[in-house]
A and B are shown apart, each in its own frame.
Chain A
Amino acid sequence: MRHPTLSELALYAGNDWGALTRWRVRRHITLCPACRQEVRANQAAREALRDFTAQMPLGVEWERLAEEMTGNIRVGLAAGECVGDFPVKRRSPLLRWNIAASMAMLVVLFAAAIVINMPRSDSGRLGGVVERLFGYDRSHQHTESIAAAPAFGVLEASPRLIAMHANGSTLSVAPDSASNVRVSVSLEGSAAARVVDSDTGQVTISRVYDEQ
């Protein structure tokens, strides 16, 4: 059993926890005599402190104390007038340069986070739009270009699996063992797995296609 810390018990005793933590600590102290004792001690100390602060110290007269404080304030104001006018405090601008710089950096950081986490297809389109806005056209370059046609489906071939993924669906063949498996893809739109039966030697070629 994990006991709450002393500070957790003290905050519980002062009714300073939220509902969930309060419920958790209460559940513990009903089962744990030591912690219950600690909570009671804290509550007793709080009661004693409250009683103590409610009593005025001996020899203190509130009327006299108030008159002295008023007098000190007046003396202070008079002394200020003798020295001269206080310099007018210039009102600080709403947006100081350091705040503006911080906000600009936050905006840059936020934009970078969006671009980095954006799917490649979207970021590519965004990049293309920005380039066109600034009049930069890659189509004039001979060795580099940007392609934008969407993919149809994806065929995958690995020793573990051949699969066709499209529209959130997958059609796959997973051979029982990767040791006797040969996989291949065809650029015409299929992936194949060839499996040799270890007992009979019979060869079975399973193939998935990416279109009807």
Chain B
Amino acid sequence: MTSPVISLRDITKSYGQGAARASVLRGVSLDIAPGELVALVGQSGSGKSTLLNIIGGLDKADGGDVNVLGHDYRRTSEQALARLRNTSIGFVFQAFNLLDHLTCLQNVTLPSQFSAAGKDVDTRGREALDRVGLAAFAGRRPSELSGGQKQRVAIARALFGAPKLLLCDEPTGNLDSATGAEVIEFFQKLNRDDGVTLVIVTHERRVSNIAQRVVAMRDGAIVEGAGTNEHTAGAGDDLGGPA
């Protein structure tokens, strides 16, 4: 078996202090193999987004081991973690998180601001926009785009650095069903053609349906689908709802 892209062991995470302390993750362990497309499902507050943020290095686990793309987060400096996000991990958020004062192209090439990227930045940015079908929108501001177009720009930004791992948090949550279907189809194609590993937090059955594995969470623990390459497309039927 190939070594996993993501390896989580006994991850714990709490928020708050004293009596208000709430345990969000309770000893989560999970392995994800290279090229997998995993859907992370569960009810609101089950810890899906927190787990995704910990995998992406956007949040820190209180306990346990996180190993992503060969980086043991406990031994990885803040700078190295930033570099990992810059070069190897792409994020797609439900709220798109585009910067309104930048053009679409500038949003897409934003990661290049934090690396010594070469002169072909704009070319690569346009290529990324072209992949999501928005080459003609390079000079527009996000405020001029529809929700679906915004999400495609956000996907283009996530793909700009040719990441090995794409982490998506409710990517279709703010989209109508037709646009959401296009996005899902794009993810499937990306996974199939480019071998990008995808972890998608979702409550949409359509996403679960295309996933090679569905990991279901409840109350901060994985209740189904923790094993590698275990096809559990029907899992989480009773776990839907907002993430």
A and B held together in a complex? no
